[in-house]
Amino acid sequence: MKRTHGMIVIVVLCAVMLGTALVAHAADAEQGQKLYGQFCATCHGQSGKGDGPAAAALNPKPRDHTDKEYMSKLSDDDMFKVIKNGGASVGKSPLMPPWGASLKDDQIHDIVAYVRTLSK
């Protein structure tokens, strides 16, 4: 009986540790920079100022990610939702497309980490 109980505890602990390891992903701003260049820079510009080649044709203009005052008011979760589900899903510009079908959640977290570096 004690042996079975001990095995159950070990199995449960291993499952918890494995589950935590699989869920945990440290956002990688360097990888996020590459993805930003591929998915975001067309509108937001390479430096994040909202001056990408497509920006001139957009109204409203893309967000300036270097605006420290504005960006400091956004949580990482806010940015994640906008990137994944698009601007309209959170009451922002419908011109901001949803990237959830093209990017994995970990990749979106990487982009958020990179965007954070633009307003420091």
Helices (H) and strands (E) in the chain, counts: 6, 0
Domains of the chain listed by start with CATH number = 27-118 (1.10.760.10)
Q: What is the pTM of this model?
A: 0.80
Spell out the per-residue pLDDT of the chain, length 120, in tens: 555 554 454 544 445 455 544 456 799 999 999 999 999 999 999 999 999 999 999 999 999 999 999 999 999 999 999 999 999 999 999 999 999 999 999 999 999 999 999 999
Q: Long-range contacts for 66-71 (Cβ within 8 Å, ≥24 apart)?
A: 66/118, 66/119, 67/119, 68/119, 68/120, 71/115, 71/116, 71/118, 71/119
